[in-house]
């Protein structure tokens, strides 16, 4: 019997699609939703399922930024065969994304027992939502928002890419929240910071989904729920990406900060009163 039903998969697909790229923590919202639906958050099949449906959200990024990605991949391919092409920013950016993904891969593999165990607690999620909110608020205040996407360099990519580790170790911190905030501290403007967050998330989240696929299929998560959750995640995430890019062009992150604090406090209340189990 599947650990997750078709109906539950649909709900989780919507949650994943809405929250994956908003700086509110998709992992935190998925764990809260799973807890409210009495789905065991530490079940290997459930952990695998949530990682796999992230691929739907990544598919939405690939579709939304197809022209940008095609341009970067083309420049990368040309640079491999032509020395003069290696001075092109897109060629360099492709390598930066690769380099920036290495830290989270190393930490993810080394700390997997902790990530799937003690750090999966909803208490950690609640605390991370609140602490991450403070980080986001401070970053938005500190950033001078003076550098655009063409001004990014290897150091930007490495620092921002490494910040994904915060969300990996502390579910609730938010991968997009950590990366966008770190990019703001590096003085990128909000739109450039958000786009960089998207591009850096592609290899990290795709790799996580493929790595967990065997657990999702082999320990109780049926193919039907996986397909439903992934397809819905793709559709909803595409709309979420379009909305976020328009929003950050003219607004600060303060609305997300307030929402995260509220959710964190509510979650602590649910855990403290026994409505949810950690």
Q: How far is CA 229 from the centre of its chain?
A: 16
Q: Give residues with Cβ within 8 angstroms of 2, minimum separation 6.
A: 45, 220, 221, 222, 224, 225
Q: HSE on the CB side for 1, CA within 13 Å?
A: 2
Instruction: Specify the pTM.
Output: 0.87
164-182 pLDDT per residue, tens = 999 999 988 999 999 999 9
127-143 pLDDT per residue, tens = 999 999 999 999 999 98
Burial of 229 (0-12, 13-18, 19+ CB in 10 A): buried
Dihedrals phi, psi of 183, to nearest 5 degrees: -65, -35
Long-range CB contact pairs, 81-89, < 8 A, 24+ = 89/150
d(CA 270, CA 278): 10
How many beta carbons lie within 10 A of that of residue 258, not counting itself?
Answer: 12
3 state SS of 264: helix
Dihedrals phi, psi of 224, to nearest 5 degrees: -60, -55
pLDDT above 90 covers a percentage of the chain that reads 58
92-114 pLDDT per residue, tens = 999 999 999 999 999 988 998 88
Q: Give residues with Cβ within 8 angstroms of 147, minimum separation 6.
A: 186, 187, 188, 189, 192
Task: Give the pLDDT confidence score for residue 112 in this predicted structure.
Answer: 86
Hey, CA dihedral for 104, 106, 109, 110, is it positive or negative? negative
Q: How far is CA 100 from the centre of its chain?
A: 15
Task: Give the pLDDT confidence score for residue 220 in this predicted structure.
Answer: 58
């Amino acid at each position: 019997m599947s650990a997750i039903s078709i109906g539950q998969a649909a709900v989780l697909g919507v949650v994943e699609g809405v929250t994956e790229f908003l700086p509110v923590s998709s992992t935190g919202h998925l764990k809260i939703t799973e807890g409210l639906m009495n789905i065991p958050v530490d079940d290997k099949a459930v952990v695998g399922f949530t990682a796999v449906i992230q691929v739907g959200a990544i598919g939405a990024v690939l579709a939304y930024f197809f022209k940008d990605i095609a341009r970067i991949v083309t420049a990368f391919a040309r640079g491999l065969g032509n020395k003069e092409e290696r001075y092109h920013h897109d060629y360099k950016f492709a390598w930066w994304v690769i380099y920036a993904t290495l830290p989270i891969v190393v930490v993810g593999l080394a700390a997997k027992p902790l990530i799937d165990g003690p750090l999966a607690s909803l208490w950690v999620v609640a605390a991370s939502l609140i602490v991450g909110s403070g980080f986001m608020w401070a970053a938005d205040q500190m950033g001078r928002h003076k550098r655009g996407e063409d001004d990014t360099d290897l150091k930007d990519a490495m620092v921002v890419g490494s910040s994904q580790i915060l969300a990996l170790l502390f579910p609730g911190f938010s991968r997009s929240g950590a990366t966008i905030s770190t990019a703001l501290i590096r003085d990128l403007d909000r739109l450039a910071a958000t786009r960089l967050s998207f591009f850096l998330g592609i290899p990290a989240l795709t790799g996580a989904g493929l790595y967990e696929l065997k657990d999702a299929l082999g320990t109780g998560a049926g193919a039907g729920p996986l397909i439903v959750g992934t397809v819905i995640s793709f559709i909803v995430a595409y709309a979420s990406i379009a909305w976020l890019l328009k929003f950050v062009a003219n607004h600060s992150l303060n609305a997300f900060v307030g929402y995260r604090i509220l959710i964190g406090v509510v979650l602590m209340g649910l855990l403290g009163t026994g409505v949810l189990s950690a």
